[in-house]
């Protein structure tokens, strides 16, 4: 019996992992349960033995995806402070691979159409990102950190939407400069947002 519980939990985590990537790539409505289960090597029929609904899976996938990306960005920028964090977030590879990136930039605009529990999970992780950014500022400030996070997410979204690579690269660079400038300005002036 113990093996069965562990096996079921491992399988559930695998489905959530694949769903988090697929949702970031194709959106919540762009992929069905059969595809999500197939990505994890399972049949559609087994879905409800792991999740009560697609919405329950969406909530877990959002939590997992945001937490994983935040940890990855923190690790990659550990010794470089806010500038390294900004550069890591606005890398061309992050733009080109939404399935491995930040859910806020990939599916953030879709969250508002989902359950209160999903929106609350998204917001908790968004606030974790903001708190981390605040801790990297010369003078920790959540208002400035929220502005920086919003700037990073919006920059990444616009860069992904650009019709050509040159414009997309320009958008990433201008967002990087603006975010770093905002972070540096926080040392002298605290934004009251």
- The structure tokens 């995806």 sit at 65
CA 191/CA 193 separation, integer angstroms:
6
pTM of structure? 0.86
CA angle (35, 39, 45) in 5-degree steps: 55
Indicate if the pLDDT at residue 188 is higher than 70: no
The answer for residues whose C-beta is within 8 angstroms of residue 45's C-beta and 6 or more apart is none
> Which of 157, 138, 137 is closest to 146 using CA atoms?
137
Given this model, what pLDDT does residue 189 score? 53
pLDDT in tens, 32-70: 999 999 998 888 888 998 999 999 999 999 888 778 887
Residue position matching structure tokens 């930040």: 102
Output the CA–CA distances (angstroms, integers) from residue 147 to 69, 141, 158, 164, in the order listed: 19, 10, 16, 27
- The answer, yes or no, to whether residue 165 has pLDDT greater than 90, is yes
CA distance 18 to 104: 17
What is residue 70's predicted lDDT score, i.e. its pLDDT? 79
d(CA 193, CA 190): 9
Determine whether 93 is exposed, middle or buried from the number of CB atoms within 10 Å of its CB (0-12, 13-18, 19+). exposed
At 89 the pLDDT is: 94
pLDDT value of position 1: 45
Q: Which two tokens stand for residue 181?
A: 């400038």
* Token pair belonging to 16: 């959530």
Residue 65 CA to its chain's centroid (Å): 6
pLDDT (tens digit per residue) in 95-145: 999 998 898 999 999 999 999 999 999 999 899 999 999 999 999 999 999
Give the mean model confidence (pLDDT) for residues 139-156.
96
Contact between residue 58 and residue 117 where contact means Cβ atoms under 8 Å apart: no
DSSP at 98:
G
pLDDT the model gives residue 3: 54
191, 144 in Cβ contact below 8 A?
yes
Secondary structure class of 3 (helix, strand, coil): helix
Which domains, ranges and CATH numbers included, belong to the chain? 54-185 (1.10.357.10)
Average pLDDT over residues 77-104: 92
Question: What integer pLDDT is reported at residue 63 of this predicted model?
Answer: 87
* pLDDT class of 172 with cuts at 50, 70, 90: very high
């Amino acid at each position: 019996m113990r093996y069965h519980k562990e096996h079921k939990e491992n399988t559930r985590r695998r489905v959530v992992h694949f769903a988090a990537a697929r949702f970031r790539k194709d959106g919540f409505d762009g992929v069905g349960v059969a595809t999500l289960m197939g990505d994890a090597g399972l049949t559609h029929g087994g879905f409800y033995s792991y999740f009560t609904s697609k919405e329950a899976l969406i909530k877990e996938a959002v939590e997992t995806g945001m937490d994983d990306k935040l940890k990855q960005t923190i690790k990659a920028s550990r010794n470089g402070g806010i500038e390294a964090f900004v550069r890591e977030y606005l890398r061309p590879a992050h733009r080109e691979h939404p399935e491995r990136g930040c859910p806020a930039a990939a599916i953030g605009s879709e969250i508002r159409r989902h359950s209160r529990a999903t929106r609350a999970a998204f917001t908790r992780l968004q606030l974790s990102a903001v708190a981390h950014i605040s801790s990297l500022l010369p003078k920790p400030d959540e208002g400035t950190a929220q502005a920086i996070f919003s700037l990073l997410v919006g920059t990444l979204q616009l860069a992904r939407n650009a019709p050509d690579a040159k414009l997309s690269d320009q958008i990433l660079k201008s967002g990087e400069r603006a975010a770093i400038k905002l972070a540096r300005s926080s040392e002298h002036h605290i934004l009251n947002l």
